[in-house]
Every structure is written in C-alpha cells, then in structure tokens.
Amino acid sequence: MGNEELTFRIIGCAMKVHRTLGNGFQQVIYQRCLAIELQAAGITYEREKEQAIFYNGN
C-alpha cells in the first residue's frame, strides 16, 4: 500500500470517529476510538510513541 492510500484510509478512520462521537469528549476518548478504527481497518499503529523533543535550545 502506498503512502497516499494509507493516508486516505487513516483520514477515513479519523473522520468516522469524528462523525460518530462529535465534539466535546476528552482527547483520550478520541484516541481510544481511533485505535479501534485503525485496528478494524488493518492499519498497524502505535499510540503515544515516545520521541525526543528539542525546544528552546534544550
């Protein structure tokens, strides 16, 4: 699967979560629902992957 197709499928999952839940929930609720949609779509993912941050010279 190419990047364009993968991007299209990920955005589709995110839009489905948004249409289903609407506004007003905490971010963690959207994260959990998106994880369910990505898994159902067969898309491999990692939630909140740790990464180095460089900010303000640090």
Task: For the chain, give every domain's residue range.
Answer: 1-58
Q: Is the pLDDT of residue 16 over 80?
A: yes
Please compute the mean of the pLDDT values over residues 22-44 and round it to a whole number: 97
pTM recorded for the entire structure? 0.82
* pLDDT given for residue 1 in this prediction: 83
Radius of gyration of the chain measured on its C-alpha atoms: 14
* pLDDT given for residue 22 in this prediction: 96
Provide the Cα torsion 20, 25, 27, 29; round to 10°: -60
Q: Residue 12's closest CA among 23, 20, 55?
A: 20
Regarding predicted confidence, which is higher, 57 or 43?
43
Residues with Cβ within 8 Å of 1's Cβ and at least 6 positions away in sequence, in order, are 9
* pLDDT given for residue 55 in this prediction: 95
* pLDDT given for residue 58 in this prediction: 75
